[in-house]
């Protein structure tokens, strides 16, 4: 039952891009009246828009690196991915040509990567991650994880930059163990702290489960996430990072349990969500929040327009939390898109969001890769 798998793939990637694009408007805002969010979104329904296209930020720029690396290499390749993050065309690849398996409409030329790199500050990258990206450009670098490891006094970043680009790992790998392993490594290239890369694992797991239709039974969905993360967070590094940063043991699990408590309540205020789950740039303060947004909006909300699809409700709710709105909406958009499918994603929004069309193409190619993998090829 539910949407076809290809529709879920398209929903996940287009959903992530739209969340990033529409969420950018409120990034960093402390309080966002719902009225303003609804105004911002209804402006997308007009044929003409004075403000023009909504541009994507680093969330999408880095997601596209993950997608293109996975598609070009057909496997996880940390060296290829590191170069893409940084904007340097991978060595030994003639980047004037499109990689095998990619439609010519997808621009993969070196100009495009360089463009991504040059526009880095304008795309709103985290202040720490820019240093990592610069170091990844060094031709003398042999250990691609070294720059990330040396961040923040040697502990690595706990920002949500690994999690915001984790969705494609759920679309490229059919097996749960692979989704966990590669989303972790993909994040570790910039986020070496377990509180950073485990956020990416959690986000990839949520998308993976949503693709299987697991959100049809919300309680089972959150229980699966908690039990998977109990495993992930039992790792020695996770235990010592949590202790060093003054977090409780199993920090993601404890936030997910809070999500579960919220699900059982008849009403939860925005203030409770932002103070207890968070809306900040740390992965711990945003990935469980994004998951909550999806779960909370599975049912119609009295304060939202009745005609809104579940996807629209989810993104609207994310924006109304304020804080790191582009990233929370990007992550929740990916999960919600995987659950509801592309049919729930409004075409009007897609028209005004940069990168939405390209995300459709990524989805189709990742779907083909996924199907080949299912068939054992």
Q: Which stretch binds ligand R7I (CB under 6 A): 2-10, 85-93, 133-141, 153-161?
A: 153-161
Q: Which SS3 state, helix, strand or coil, does residue 166 take?
A: coil
Output 65 or 344, the one with its CB closest to Mg ion.
65
Closest contact distance (angstroms) between CB of 242 and ligand R7I is 13
Nearest to 166 by CA among 193, 178, 184, 144: 184
Is residue 147 near ligand R7I by the rule CB under 6 A? no
Closest contact distance (angstroms) between CB of 84 and ligand R7I is 15
Closest contact distance (angstroms) between CB of 58 and Mg ion is 5
How many of the other CB atoms lie within 10 Å of CB of 135? 17
Is residue 203 near ligand R7I by the rule CB under 6 A? no
Interaction residues for ligand R7I, span 19-38 (CB under 6 A): none
Closest contact distance (angstroms) between CB of 129 and ligand R7I is 4
CA distances from 143 to 11, 130, 189 (A): 35, 18, 10
Closest contact distance (angstroms) between CB of 124 and ligand R7I is 4
Tell me the C-alpha distance between 359 and 363, whole Å: 6
Work out which of 3, 87, 89, 126 binds ligand R7I, going by CB under 6 A: 126
**Which residues does residue 353 pair with via DSSP β-bridges, in sequence order?**
54
Q: What is the DSSP letter of 346?
A: -
Work out which of 15, 89, 128, 251 binds ligand R7I, going by CB under 6 A: 128
Tell me the C-alpha distance between 80 and 335, whole Å: 26
**Which residues does residue 282 pair with via DSSP β-bridges, in sequence order?**
159
Is residue 149 near ligand R7I by the rule CB under 6 A? no
Closest contact distance (angstroms) between CB of 159 and ligand R7I is 2
Is residue 324 near ligand R7I by the rule CB under 6 A? yes
Work out which of 79, 135, 149, 155 binds ligand R7I, going by CB under 6 A: 155
How many of the other CB atoms lie within 10 Å of CB of 189? 24
202 touches 252 (CB < 8 A): yes
Interaction residues for ligand R7I, span 207-226 (CB under 6 A): none
Q: What are phi and psi of 159, to 5 degrees?
A: -65, 170
Structure tokens at 194: 């377990």
Work out which of 161, 186, 251, 333 binds ligand R7I, going by CB under 6 A: 161
Work out which of 7, 57, 320, 350 binds ligand R7I, going by CB under 6 A: 57
Q: Which stretch binds ligand R7I (CB under 6 A): 78-86, 156-164, 346-354, 362-370?
A: 156-164
Nearest to 320 by CA among 45, 36, 18, 41: 36
Contacts of 313 (CB under 8 A, 6+ apart): 297, 300, 301, 304
Size, binding site for ligand R7I by CB under 6 A: 21
Is residue 337 near ligand R7I by the rule CB under 6 A? no
297 touches 314 (CB < 8 A): yes
Q: Which stretch binds ligand R7I (CB under 6 A): 54-62, 217-225, 235-243, 290-298?
A: 54-62
Output 58 or 116, the one with its CB closest to Mg ion.
58
338 touches 210 (CB < 8 A): yes
How many of the other CB atoms lie within 10 Å of CB of 103? 9
Residues making contact with ligand R7I (CB under 6 A): 57-59, 124, 126-129, 152, 155, 157-161, 164, 193, 281, 324, 326-327
């Amino acid at each position: 039952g539910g949407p076809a798998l290809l529709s879920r793939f398209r929903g996940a990637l287009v959903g992530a891009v739209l969340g990033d694009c529409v969420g950018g408007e409120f990034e960093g805002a402390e309080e966002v009246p719902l009225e303003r969010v609804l105004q911002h979104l209804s402006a997308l329904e007009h044929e003409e828009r004075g403000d023009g296209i909504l541009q994507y930020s680093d969330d999408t720029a880095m997601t596209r690196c993950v997608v293109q690396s996975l598609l070009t290499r057909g496997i996880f390749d940390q060296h290829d991915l590191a170069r893409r993050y940084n904007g340097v065309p991978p060595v030994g690849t003639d980047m004037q040509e499109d990689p095998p398996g990619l439609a010519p409409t997808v621009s993969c030329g070196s100009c495009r990567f360089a463009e991504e790199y040059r526009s880095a500050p304008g795309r709103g990258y985290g202040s720490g991650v820019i240093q990592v990206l610069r170091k990844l450009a060094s031709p003398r670098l042999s250990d691609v994880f070294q720059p990330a490891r040396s961040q923040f006094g040697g502990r690595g970043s706990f920002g949500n930059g690994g999690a915001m680009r984790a969705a494609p790992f759920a679309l490229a790998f059919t097996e749960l163990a692979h989704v966990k392993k590669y989303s972790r490594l993909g994040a570790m290239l910039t986020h070496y702290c377990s509180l950073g890369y485990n956020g990416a694992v959690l986000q990839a797991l949520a998308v993976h489960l949503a693709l299987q239709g697991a959100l049809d039974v919300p309680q089972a969905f959150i229980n699966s996430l908690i039990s998977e993360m109990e495993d992930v967070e039992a790792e020695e590094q996770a235990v010592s990072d949590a202790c060093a940063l003054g977090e409780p043991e199993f920090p993601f699990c404890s936030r997910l349990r809070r999500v579960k408590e919220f699900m059982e309540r008849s009403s939860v205020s925005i203030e409770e969500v932002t103070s207890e789950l968070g809306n900040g740039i740390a992965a711990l303060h945003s990935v469980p929040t994004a998951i909550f947004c999806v779960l909370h909006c599975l049912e119609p909300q009295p304060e939202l327009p009745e005609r809104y699809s579940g996807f629209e409700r989810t993104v609207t709710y994310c924006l109304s939390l304020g804080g790191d709105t582009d990233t929370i909406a990007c992550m929740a958009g990916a999960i919600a898109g995987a659950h509801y499918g592309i049919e729930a994603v409004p075409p009007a929004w897609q028209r005004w969001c940069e990168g939405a069309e390209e995300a459709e193409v990524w989805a189709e190619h990742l779907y083909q890769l996924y199907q080949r993998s299912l068939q054992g090829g």
